[in-house]
Structure 1
């Protein structure tokens, strides 16, 4: 899969309730706001389409992504969970000519570009999707062929791409190190 045929979705609509009252995606990690790591990673791919899915009333998040050359889409139902945001983004990518969608989480700052290029290389003929793994568990980032878009567009609540990935007949995985697999949910996660 080449970036010219790829769409990238950054899921950045979560409420971050476990983090506390501050917006965790704007909290600094490694000298940058947390969400800036995924924004820069996505921008480095130079994909055909890149969208960050954000909640309503999040102008600072919108600015962060815009500053990195990434368009945003507001999910008015972001409070319904990650599945809602993923489905919302996939519906927007369905209107483009992309042949696959790479799903990134805005709270995973340690995923390297080399991991994403390995995922793209694994999406060969006959492979429906590629997931990252830490141990045996499939997790984001995830990469899906366009044929999976209708299934992803029906997700709701806290359902993520894992459910669709596990239902597909031909999949591949690319391992992450434990550090690369960290997603920041609490302030304690910031120190890892």
Structure 2
């Protein structure tokens, strides 16, 4: 039978150092709240339930932790801050439901990987009663040290309390601890607070377990996995690490990036094979890019579905609801929103297309806009297959341009245009010979009068 595992995620901190109006764990990395990164990693590692220890913004934190998750999340409130051991014990009732393993995670450490968690759970399955994730630090100053003897973990020593020999150890406590579910409540209740801060430290569980004859081990994980967030500066550092991981994974999957460091991805960005991304491109949530598409430099995409072999930009903005067909084009300085653009259709220059459906192989001329908003409501513009919209046209919705129709440049279209019709909606040009010279003379005279009056 598969092992059962509970994750206890600590997310009740006040985040004072963040200087924020919201809980620290609601801040985002890759456009996903920190807490959601943690719960998703736990679920991917096989955790069957999450006990979420909450405080500030409890309801919002719980919602963020469970969004898109296929395992249940049970919130438990921590009203007093008495240390990590006390925080975990707040989940006593959930722990008592009975699990083979209990793993303690931190809501402000979003880089923890499923692989690291799986390795810890596997150690439990192989007979260890307590498993601590550690990392090798180039500079271990300030970190708790993992003290080992004969292949087992004997203690976690805080830096201030460590001897000189112990401070020389570079194997440091990462904070993530997995322990026996049947032993969990008893071990947690045995943690005392006889220390300078009068707090209950979860790290004491190692020595308590050793006294009871239980086996404790430490396993190594990447230092990045253990990175926690206490300040906005640390949040930015974590974002950089997460982005580097996401870009690397995308490139291994067949995506080309000319300047990876200038490309920013979201947690749910989907990129097909042979996609090419030029420098300075930002992907917001909800973007899917089909195989062979090209995203030119300085583009901003959010909530958009880009079809295979489509071409975007440079300097294009695709807003939520944009759907591009195969080989469609959205060119430089164009903006789209809630627009379905058919296969092979082109919106190439300086245009805005919002609340619109554009048929296959239609051509939208430079400077065209869909006038979709009347001050209170949005209206639909429909442009048929093969239609041609001349440059600098305004299409006042609701309006339909038929299949194969032409709209003359500079038109303001307020009525439907039938299939294969030509619509011209602009004033007739008048040319007055010699009038320009007289107009210049008049303008110069006015300017001279103004200049004279200023000097009087």
Partner of 1:95: 96
Matched, 1:14 2:13: yes
Partner of 1:168: 209
- TM-aligned CA deviation for residue 142 of structure 1: 0.9
Structure with greater helix share of residues: 1
Partner of 2:105: 104
Matched residues in 2 for 1:148 and 1:63: separation? 27
Matched residues in 2 for 1:172 and 1:76: separation? 29
Partner of 1:63: 63
Distance 1:43 1:66, change over 3 A: same
1:56–1:76 CA contact under 8 A, matched in 2: no
**Structure 1 unaligned runs (5+)?**
none
- TM-aligned CA deviation for residue 76 of structure 1: 4.0
1:77–1:85 CA contact under 8 A, matched in 2: no
Distance 1:78 1:30, change over 3 A: farther
Partner of 2:454: none
Partner of 1:184: 229
Secondary structure class of the residue paired with 1:165: helix
Matched residues in 1 for 2:98 and 2:105: separation? 19
Q: Which runs of 4+ in 1 moved over 4 A?
A: 154-158
Secondary structure class of the residue paired with 2:223: coil
**Structure 2 unaligned runs (5+)?**
137-170, 238-456
Q: Using the TM superposition, name which of 169-178 and 9-18 deviates more.
A: 169-178
Matched residues in 2 for 1:164 and 1:151: separation? 6
Secondary structure class of the residue paired with 1:77: coil
- Out of 183, 186, 200, the position equivalent to 1:159 is 200
Q: How does 1:18-29 map to 2 (within 5 A)?
A: 18-22=17-21, 23-29=23-29
Structure with greater strand share of residues: 2
Q: Using the TM superposition, name which of 32-41 and 93-102 deviates more.
A: 93-102
- Structure with the greater alpha carbon radius of gyration: 2
Q: Deviations for 1:81-104, whole angstroms, at most 9, x for unmatched residues?
A: 433221111x12332121220111
Q: Using the TM superposition, name which of 122-131 and 175-184 deviates more.
A: 122-131
- TM-aligned CA deviation for residue 56 of structure 1: 5.9
- TM-aligned CA deviation for residue 126 of structure 1: 4.1
Matched residues in 2 for 1:29 and 1:160: separation? 28
Matched residues in 2 for 1:188 and 1:49: separation? 32
Matched residues in 1 for 2:228 and 2:81: separation? 19
- Out of 75, 85, 88, the position equivalent to 1:83 is 85
1:87–1:152 CA contact under 8 A, matched in 2: yes
1:134–1:175 CA contact under 8 A, matched in 2: yes
Matched residues in 2 for 1:83 and 1:62: separation? 21
Q: Deviations for 1:120-165, whole angstroms, at most 9, x for unmatched residues?
A: 1111454210001123223322101132431214557643321112
Secondary structure class of the residue paired with 1:123: helix
Q: Using the TM superposition, name which of 128-137 and 155-164 deviates more.
A: 155-164
Distance 1:187 1:115, change over 3 A: same
Distance 1:20 1:43, change over 3 A: same
* RMSD (Å) for aligned C-alpha atoms: 2.3
Q: Which has the higher contact order (CA 8 A, sep 6+)?
A: 1
Matched, 1:139 2:174: yes
Partner of 1:5: 4
Matched residues in 2 for 1:70 and 1:6: separation? 12
1:38–1:105 CA contact under 8 A, matched in 2: yes
Matched residues in 1 for 2:231 and 2:201: separation? 20
Matched residues in 2 for 1:20 and 1:158: separation? 24
- TM-aligned CA deviation for residue 186 of structure 1: 1.1
Matched residues in 2 for 1:148 and 1:74: separation? 17
